[in-house]
A and B are shown apart, each in its own frame.
Chain A
Amino acid sequence: MDELSYIVLSALVNGAVMTVALYVGMRKGVEKAVDAVIDRLRERLGRSPAAKRLERALESLDRLLGDERLLEQATKFFAEAAKLASSQEARNFFASLAELARALTVRPPLREVRQLGPHDPLLPAEGETLKDSEEQ
């Protein structure tokens, strides 16, 4: 359970950083966001007394994503907590976490890529340009 608690805590820390990254991403555009997040992390890692903890949390998230068994455990743990929690707010919170953990765990099957065929109606007929086909 200690390991699980640690992973849950790490996931929370990482989730918060990810939230910030996504928020910055929405505001500043993907390219700038990535640079901003990396710089912010490096800056913090260089200064903060919690550097080691953050570093461990990062490794932990990586480990968590690579370990289906742990993710399944976390999903069950949150689902159980959602049933047992006394307040509605806490139940909703844990249910959301269970949903999040499930989304991280379930590996979808590879699907077929729908290709653009040479005679697709989006393409102009042979010898024509897109402009010609639009005019018709």
Chain B
Amino acid sequence: MSEAVLDDLIKELDRFIRHRDPRRAVKRLVSAFIGYLTPENLERAVRENLDLFDLLVSRYRLTDPSVLPYFRAAMRLYWQEFEEVVTDVPRIYGLLRRRLGDHPILSAPEFVNYLNSQAESLYRKMYALVWG
């Protein structure tokens, strides 16, 4: 590797470390994820008891050897921000209400149970993947 290339890499890394804005990055990620949720998707998820962790892993190929090391490194850096959201179900519920308004799915007890169990499961499985 030439010195110029290494120099560029160091500059890029330096810029990343100095200017990273975890809250903004996580907010964008959460908004992007919430953006995929429609009442139909949520109804199907509850009906079929879909595992959100499995869905995320398969959709984003998180266990692919080309992805996993980066994903683990990025998640370790943003863990605190991720944890703040995923361990606070009322907060997630608030975000969903903002997106879906007063759609009946949001007041169904099955949905609330599903949300509680998925947040718990997603958090624990993600912890094992990122820190295991």
Whether A104 pairs with B93 at a CB distance below 8 angstroms is no
Shortest CB distance A107–B (Å): 5
Given contacts A18-B73, A130-B106, A134-B102, whether A118 and B66 have CB atoms under 8 Å apart is: no
How many inter-chain residue pairs (CB < 8 Å) link A and B? 143
Shortest CB distance B8–A (Å): 8
Shortest CB distance B58–A (Å): 12
Q: Is A84 at the interface (CB under 8 A from chain B)?
A: no
Q: Is A47 at the interface (CB under 8 A from chain B)?
A: no
Whether A130 pairs with B124 at a CB distance below 8 angstroms is no
Chain B interface SS verdict (over half): helix
Q: List 6 A-B contacts (CB under 8 A).
A: A12-B9, A14-B73, A53-B1, A110-B123, A115-B120, A122-B97
Closest to A110 in B: B127
8 Å CB contacts to B: which residues of A22-56? 22, 25-26, 29-31, 34, 37-38, 41-42, 50, 53
Question: A37–B66 Cα gap in the complex (Å)?
Answer: 9
- Which of B61, B76, B79 is in CB contact (< 8 Å) with A34? B61
Shortest CB distance A9–B (Å): 8
Whether B107 pairs with A129 at a CB distance below 8 angstroms is yes
* Total A residues in contact with B, Cβ cutoff 8 Å: 55
Closest to B115 in A: A116
Q: Is A79 at the interface (CB under 8 A from chain B)?
A: no
Given contacts A12-B10, A31-B59, whether A104 and B102 have CB atoms under 8 Å apart is: no
Please indicate the chain A residues that have their CB under 8 angstroms from the CB of B94 in the complex: 122
Q: Is B25 at the interface (CB under 8 A from chain A)?
A: yes
Q: Is B28 at the interface (CB under 8 A from chain A)?
A: yes
Question: A134–B103 Cα gap in the complex (Å)?
Answer: 12
Q: Is B88 at the interface (CB under 8 A from chain A)?
A: yes
Whether B13 pairs with A12 at a CB distance below 8 angstroms is yes
Question: A134–B17 Cα gap in the complex (Å)?
Answer: 44
Q: Is A13 at the interface (CB under 8 A from chain B)?
A: yes
Q: Is B110 at the interface (CB under 8 A from chain A)?
A: no
Question: A20–B74 Cα gap in the complex (Å)?
Answer: 12
